[in-house]
A and B are shown apart, each in its own frame.
Chain A
Amino acid sequence: MRNILPILTIVAAILGIWLAAVAPMNFRLALDAATRAGEDVMPATPDEQGETGLVRLMLDNPSVLPAAYNFERPRLPQPQWVLVEIYENTVGLARRCEWQGWSDENDNWTGLSDGCLRVVAHNRSLLFHAWQTMAPTLLGFAIGTGLGILLAVGIVHNRAMDLGVMPWAIASQTIPILAIAPMVIVVLNAVGVQGLLPKSLISSYLSFFPVVVGMVKGLRSPGAMDLDLMRTYSASNSQIFWKLRLPASLPYLFASLKVGIAAALVGTIVAELPTGARFGLGARLLTGSYYGQTVQIWAALLMAAVCAAVLVWIITAVEKRLLTKMGLAR
């Protein structure tokens, strides 16, 4: 863990820049509010303020600085506010209902009453929205990975597929397919496909091609020596596949899985964006942007980051265990 100190330094630097940027970002808003409240500010009218540079304004009106930091609906909130928002919308919700005395019913393992657990699953809870995004992501990722592995096996064993499909698989990666994700959702809804499936289709599409490309590379990674050895054992094609190609492809597969699951999560979130989805992190982003609730947007973003980190971490953990067991770990 010798990297822990450098990482902490970088994170601290990012937070520092963030904190320092809060005042300049919100200063004009705060100054405007102060002017309207009749406070004594340097260029007295909004028109003059609009023509004056930001640095000049900040130097002339140091008294407005605290207001800029604590502005109610900021353009850039303080970082700790985002954490507070996340707490308020997860644990805080349950705690508050505990205090309101809903908790006289039977307790379960969480120490919360059933009524309060229902609050956590309610659509104000960020955990609920996170799950609404995670579920299609996971389903789509499973579908995409499965199909991707199948196609890769086909490509490796069939020259016509290799020549015909592979160039398109690679070319399709250069197409900004994510940009049309919302439309795909609406069309599928119109056809009658509803629920988890439309969103998962987007995430499966996005996780599909990284897996195909990585898996083809992996299945072809055994060298001529390895293949010759298998032939001296007079192994059949299927034996070569199960005992040599598939195990050799695992490191490549896991590298692609990590790319794929991150892409799948992004796909689900974007798919939720302009379709008026009511649940999910993407929906939180959208309502936050409609109502100018920046803190809500940041909280949804941070939650998405946590989800991505957890998903990638799970895959890394599985990879480590599996590869160590197979003696492939580096």
Chain B
Amino acid sequence: MSMMQTPPTSTLQRNLPVLVGAGITVLAGLIDWRLGALLAVWLLAWGANVLLSRQAAPQVRFIVPVLFGVTLLVLWQMAVRLYGINQVILPAPTDIWAALISSTPILWADFVQTVVKGALSGYVIGAALAIGTAIAVDRSSFLQRGLLPVGNFIAALPIVGTAPILVMWFGFGWQSKAAVVVIMVFFPMLVNTVAGLKATDAMQRDLMHTYAASYWQSLIKLRLPAALPFIFNGLKVCTTLALIGAIVAEFFGSPIVGMGFRIKTSFGRLELDMVWASIAVAAIAGSGFYGLVALTERQLTFWHPSQRK
């Protein structure tokens, strides 16, 4: 923070946190050497991070979070090994990695079933429906004033609870998962698109008017592009919703493949490393999905202030 001034301090004062930390570590080490070791690793890594973050180099923005993440993983591994924590409660990161490597084909099939068939198809259908609906009600401010509050309200509801009903309607296949995703995605997208279509100001609309642009021309050339930041905001929020919907819906019934199914059954068999491997895949899929949408956004809305460098 450049805003904050550092008042002049003595050497002792500046090093006080380090001394206190070292003291606590030694004390903890005397009581329980394992705890001391964990604290020592944490303090070393954190100290390195503090020192690094005082540097002005641009790489710091990348190194510090990576170091922080690696520290957490190391601490996790150490804690599990040192305290001999049971596999059934918490497997070590290396065990999860081993499961990830040894059962890649299974996890890949799960990924295809849940993410590609269930989440992605539902996401595309839901988003398309919502954008279509938003454009359809675009000319009627009466309908918009009704849809916005109702849509906002429904978007805050636990829609994922409709999963048992939809599984009952559409069967155990991926179609029911896609249906859950469609409903979950629809309302946030609708609200964002309707708000986005209102985002042009009077000057810009007047300009289109002086060009004698028709309704559709001004919609396609001015208002839809102007709505893109809002639409992408909704699309980004919905990536996570889509994955959650697809996985949770599988808890209510699925064929013998899919990430929700895998998590549920592996857990029943107490194969926690497999559960965590599935979770890792879900996390990677979630971040990747989000990253993909964010990347598309950067390509399409390069003109928007938030995307400028």
Which A positions have Cβ atoms within 8 angstroms of B?
A: 2-3, 5-11, 14, 25, 75, 156-157, 159-160, 162-168, 171, 173-176, 178-180, 182-183, 186-187, 190-191, 224, 227, 231, 237, 258, 262, 265-266, 269-270, 273-274, 281-282, 285-286, 288-289, 292, 294, 297-298, 300-301, 304-305, 308-309, 312
Nearest CB in chain B: distance from A259 CB, A: 8
Q: From DSSP, what is the main secondary structure of chain A's interface residues?
A: helix
For residue B248, CB closer than 8 A to chain A, the reply is yes
B164 contacts A297, C-beta separation under 8 Å: yes
For residue B286, CB closer than 8 A to chain A, the reply is yes
In Å, the complex CA distance between A274 and B251 comes to 7
Say which one of B35-43, B152-160, B199-207, B216-224 lies at the interface with A: B152-160
Nearest CB in chain A: distance from B59 CB, A: 11
Nearest CB in chain B: distance from A66 CB, A: 22
B266-303 vs A: 1/0 string, CB under 8 Å?
A: 01000000010001001100110111000000000000
For A3, A10, A179, which residue has the most chain B Cβ atoms within 10 angstroms? Answer: A179
B168 contacts A294, C-beta separation under 8 Å: yes
Name the CB-closest residue of A to B154. Answer: A305
For residue B74, CB closer than 8 A to chain A, the reply is no
Q: Return 22 A-B CB contacts under 8 Å, by A number.
A: A6-B145, A7-B145, A7-B146, A9-B143, A25-B169, A156-B1, A157-B1, A160-B49, A163-B65, A174-B291, A175-B240, A175-B286, A179-B243, A179-B259, A179-B260, A180-B263, A180-B275, A187-B90, A273-B251, A294-B168, A297-B164, A308-B158
Nearest CB in chain B: distance from A32 CB, A: 16
A168 contacts B69, C-beta separation under 8 Å: yes
B143 contacts A179, C-beta separation under 8 Å: no
Nearest CB in chain B: distance from A3 CB, A: 5
Name the CB-closest residue of B to A172. Answer: B283
For residue B89, CB closer than 8 A to chain A, the reply is yes
Closest 10 CB pairs of A and B: A6-B146, A289-B164, A164-B68, A10-B146, A179-B247, A163-B64, A176-B243, A174-B290, A6-B145, A262-B156
B239 contacts A286, C-beta separation under 8 Å: no
Nearest CB in chain A: distance from B214 CB, A: 27
Name the CB-closest residue of B to A269. Answer: B158
A300 contacts B161, C-beta separation under 8 Å: yes
B158 contacts A174, C-beta separation under 8 Å: no
In Å, the complex CA distance between A262 and B241 comes to 13
Nearest CB in chain A: distance from B215 CB, A: 21
Q: Which residues of A contact B145 (CB under 8 A)?
A: 2-3, 6-7
Also in contact, A3 and B68, with CB within 8 A (given A157-B1, A269-B158, A292-B168): no
For residue B60, CB closer than 8 A to chain A, the reply is yes
B4 contacts A164, C-beta separation under 8 Å: no
Name the CB-closest residue of B to A180. Answer: B279
A187 contacts B89, C-beta separation under 8 Å: yes
Also in contact, A159 and B53, with CB within 8 A (given A190-B89, A262-B156): yes
Q: From DSSP, what is the main secondary structure of chain B's interface residues?
A: helix
Nearest CB in chain A: distance from B26 CB, A: 23
A75 contacts B240, C-beta separation under 8 Å: no
B146 contacts A9, C-beta separation under 8 Å: yes
For residue B67, CB closer than 8 A to chain A, the reply is yes
Contacts A2-B145, A174-B289 supplied; 17 other A-B pairs, CB < 8 Å: A9-B142, A9-B143, A160-B46, A160-B64, A164-B64, A165-B68, A171-B287, A176-B240, A176-B244, A176-B247, A178-B248, A179-B244, A186-B267, A266-B158, A273-B251, A298-B165, A308-B156
In Å, the complex CA distance between A157 and B251 comes to 43
Name the CB-closest residue of A to B151. Answer: A10
B289 contacts A159, C-beta separation under 8 Å: no
Which parts of B57-98 form the interface with A (CB within 8 Å)?
60-61, 64-65, 67-69, 88-90
A174 contacts B161, C-beta separation under 8 Å: no
In Å, the complex CA distance between A102 and B204 comes to 71
B53 contacts A301, C-beta separation under 8 Å: no
B67 contacts A164, C-beta separation under 8 Å: yes
